[in-house]
C-alpha cells in the first residue's frame, strides 16, 4: 500500500472509530486528525469535508460487510447455518454494543434526525444485510416469506443491540440471540 493510501486508510479507520464512539455530529475534524496521526494541514488533502469523510467511512463499512458475507457464503455450508451465524452478530463485539450500541443502527438513527441525505447512504448497510438475508431465506425454500423474515431478523438483532445498550444488559442480548437461533432452527 502506498503512503497516500495508507494515510487515507488511517484517517478512515480513526473516523470510523470516533463516529461510532462519539457520534458523527459530535466528532470534530481536528479529533479525527489527532486520532489518525495525520497533521491537520495534510488531512484536507485526503478529505475536504466531514461529509466526504463520512462517505468514505460508510464505503469502508460496506466493503467490510460485503467481504464478511462473501466469506460466510463460501465457508458456511447451509443457509440455516449462515442465518445462525448472522444471529451471533450482537455478541461479536458485546462490550462495544453494550457501551455504544450497534455501529450501523446508531449512525442511521443519528443521521436520520436532521441529515436525511447522509442517512440514505448509511441505510445501504442495512440494505446489504437485508438482501443477503432474503437470499438465505430463499435458499431455505421460504421465498414467499423472505422479505418478511429478513426484516424480522434484522429488527430483532437491532432491538437486542438497542435494548442491551440502553440497559447495559449482556444477559438480555445473549437471551435474544438464543431466541433468534431457536426461531431459525424451526424454519
Residues 165-174 pLDDT 10s: 999 999 999 9
Average pLDDT over residues 33-42: 90
Of all residues in the chain, the percent with pLDDT exceeding 70 is 99
pTM of the complete model: 0.94
Residue 11 belongs to some domain of the structure: no
Residue 138 belongs to some domain of the structure: yes
Q: What b/e string do you get for 151-169 counting C-beta neighbours within 10 Å, with b at 16 or more? A: eebbebbbebbbebbeeee
Say whether pLDDT at 39 is over 90.
Answer: no
* pLDDT for residue 63: 98
Q: Looking at residue 87, which CATH number applies to its domain?
A: 1.10.357.10
pLDDT band at 121 (very low <50, low <70, confident <90, very high): very high
Say whether pLDDT at 4 is over 80.
Answer: no
* pLDDT for residue 58: 97
**What is the CB-side half-sphere exposure of residue 162 using CA atoms within 13 A?**
12
Measured between its terminal Cα atoms, the distance across the chain in Å is 45
Could you tell me the residue range of the domain that residue 179 belongs to? 77-186
C-alpha distances (whole Å) from 51 to each of 64, 91, 104 are 20, 30, 17
pLDDT band at 40 (very low <50, low <70, confident <90, very high): confident
Cα 147 to Cα 26: distance, rounded to the nearest angstrom: 35
Say whether pLDDT at 161 is over 80.
Answer: yes
pLDDT band at 42 (very low <50, low <70, confident <90, very high): confident
| pLDDT tens, residue by residue, 131-149 | 999 999 999 999 999 999 9
Please state the domain count of the chain: 1
Amino acid at each position: 500500500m502506498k503512503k497516500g493510501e495508507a494515510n487515507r486508510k488511517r484517517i478512515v479507520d480513526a473516523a470510523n472509530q470516533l463516529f461510532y464512539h462519539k457520534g458523527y455530529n459530535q466528532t470534530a475534524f481536528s479529533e479525527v486528525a489527532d486520532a489518525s496521526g495525520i497533521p491537520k494541514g495534510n488531512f484536507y488533502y485526503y478529505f475536504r469535508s466531514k461529509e466526504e469523510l463520512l462517505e468514505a467511512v460508510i464505503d469502508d463499512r460496506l466493503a467490510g460487510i460485503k467481504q464478511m458475507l462473501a466469506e460466510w457464503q463460501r465457508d458456511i455450508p447451509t443457509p440455516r447455518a449462515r442465518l445462525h451465524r448472522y444471529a451471533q452478530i450482537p455478541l461479536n463485539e458485546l462490550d462495544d454494543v453494550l457501551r455504544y450500541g450497534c455501529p450501523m443502527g446508531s449512525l442511521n438513527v443519528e443521521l436520520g434526525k436532521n441529515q436525511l441525505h447522509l442517512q440514505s447512504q448509511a441505510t445501504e448497510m442495512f440494505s446489504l444485510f437485508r438482501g443477503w438475508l432474503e437470499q438465505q431465506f430463499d435458499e431455505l425454500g421460504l421465498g414467499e416469506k423472505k422479505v418478511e423474515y429478513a426484516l424480522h431478523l434484522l429488527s430483532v438483532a437491532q432491538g437486542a443491540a438497542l435494548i442491551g445498550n440502553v440497559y447495559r444488559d449482556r444477559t438480555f442480548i445473549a437471551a435474544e440471540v438464543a431466541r433468534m437461533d431457536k426461531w431459525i432452527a424451526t424454519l
